[in-house]
Each structure stands twice: as C-alpha cells, then as structure tokens.
Amino acid sequence: MDWGMKNRMAKIIRPDTGRALMLAVDHGYFLGPTTRLEVPRKTIEPLLPYADSIMLTRGVLRTSVDPSTATSVVLRVSGGVSIIGPSLSNEGITTSIKDAIRLNVAGVGLSVFIGTEHERQTLLSLAELVNQGEEYGIPVMAITAVGRELEKRDARFLSLCCRICAEIGAHMVKTYYCEDFEKVTESCPVPIVIAGGPKLATELDVLEMAYNAIQRGAVGVDMGRNIWQSDYPVAMIRAIRAIVHEGYTPKEALDLFMTLKEEEVKKRAAVN
C-alpha cells in the first residue's frame, strides 16, 4: 500500500486501537428525508466530535458539515435509485474521483448488490472505483447491500459478498452483523465494519451487536439509525465509542449510556 493510501486508511481505522467508529448519515441518497435526519446539520453537528469518520454524500457534506471539522470523511459515491423506484439495486457511480479528492476525503464507499439482476453492473462499478482509488491513493469501502430483502443477512450470503468485494480489490467492506459472524470476517482478507440496520428494540441490543461484531473480527461499526434515531444520540454514540475504542463490555457501555442520558435529561429540563 502506498503512503497516501495508508495515511487515508489511518484516518478511518485508528492506528492506536486498530478500530473504526464511522457515523453513517448517507441514507437520504435513496430514502430522502429519513426520520431524524430531516435536517442533516442538526443531526450531524452534536455527533461529529465522537466519530472517527462520517459517511455521507457530497451534497450533505457541502451543505451541512463545517469544513473545519477534524472528523474524516468517507464519501458515498454510488446511487441513482430511490425507495419509490422499481429497483434499489440499479445503482451507478454518482461522483467523480476528482470531486472526492477536491473534498479531501479519507475514502469512498459504494454499494454492491450481489445476487440481484444488477450484481454485474455494481461489481464492475466497484472494480472501476478501485482502479481509480489505487491511482490516487483513495481507499474504497464496498457495501454489501441487501435492498429490501433484510432476511438475506446470513453468514453464507454475507461471507460470499464480502469475499467477492475483497477479491475485486475493495480496501474495506461494510456488511451486516449476523449469526456465525466470524465466518464472514475469517474469510475476508480486508477489514470489515458493520452497519447497524433498522433501529433495534433496546440500547443494550445495539451495544451487544457492536460488541459481538468486534469480538468476532470486525474492526468497528459504520452505524446510522441506531445512533441518530435514539432519543439520546450523543449518549448512544459515546457508549458505542467506549465499546469500539475503550474495550467496554455491553453492560459497562449501557451504564455509561444511562449516566449520559441522565445528564442530558437534566440539561433539557433546565432549558425548558
């Protein structure tokens, strides 16, 4: 790996812990104004100091993130579909590598839809993006998307997806947590982060998922809704951060969440 590529990777995966806390706020690229992400700046600003990197589109980056931020950027560069269109998998590349460089990104991310009618198209887009990333020293994160078919999230399917992405040259992969997750990480020679998926029932569920994913070989999380759809998003990201970078157990992280939540409750009461 060349120096520039290594330097950018170090802005996504912290060299001192070997772990990554990525904040995903790219959902609008196909969902529009997702619940609690209606005004991106409002959602992003309080969370940004606690994330190592933020994953988003160029439109939200330019309009809703202060350029003086110390948090790194992983730019979503695929899209072209919407939740109300005929097919979520029919994605192409939306953003040139030149624009990504202009935005000083640490990495770029693109979804692949393996097992769909668009697997060839999205995998060839990944290959093209890796070619460009290698040329300019920009790491590429492949995202093993499942579209509406959330039931596809099992170790057999996800290990096939992650391995194919790594074989094509992705520098890291984002996938879902699943049972027997170690089968996914063991057979993928590049680092894996997990998405959070739809909001889970309790905070402990989210913390356990993050903890278990790391125990089973993930380098961290690229999480969205389970953070910013929480009623206490800052407490949530700080609790997850404690798991990712400080070795907290889910129970310890839940205690931290409860303490921070109480502080927030008092602060809100004082304002009202």
Which residues have a catalytic role annotated?
174
Binding status of residue 261 toward ligand 5RP by CB under 6 A? no
Binding mask 100-139 for ligand 5RP (x = CB under 6 A): -----------x----------------------------
Q: Which of residues 49-68 bind ligand 5RP (CB under 6 A)?
A: 55
Nearer to ligand 5RP, 231 or 263 (CB): 231
Sign of CA dihedral 251, 43, 78, 3: negative
Binding status of residue 47 toward ligand 5RP by CB under 6 A? no
Phi, psi of 14 (to 5 degrees): -65, 120
Binding mask 193-212 for ligand 5RP (x = CB under 6 A): --xxx---------------
Q: Which residues contact residue 266 at a Cβ distance below 8 angstroms, ignoring those fewer than 6 apart? A: none
Nearer to ligand 5RP, 76 or 261 (CB): 76
Q: What is the DSSP letter of 229?
A: T
In Å, what is the CA distance from 26 to each residue of 154, 180, 194, 201? 24, 28, 15, 22
| Closest approach of ligand 5RP to the CB of residue 221, in Å | 8
Indicate which single residue of 110, 145, 146, 239 sits in contact with ligand 5RP (rule: CB under 6 A). 145
Binding status of residue 178 toward ligand 5RP by CB under 6 A? no
CA-CA distance, 59 to 266, in Å (whole number)? 35
Q: Where are the alpha helices (DSSP H) in 13-76?
A: 28-31, 40-47, 58-64
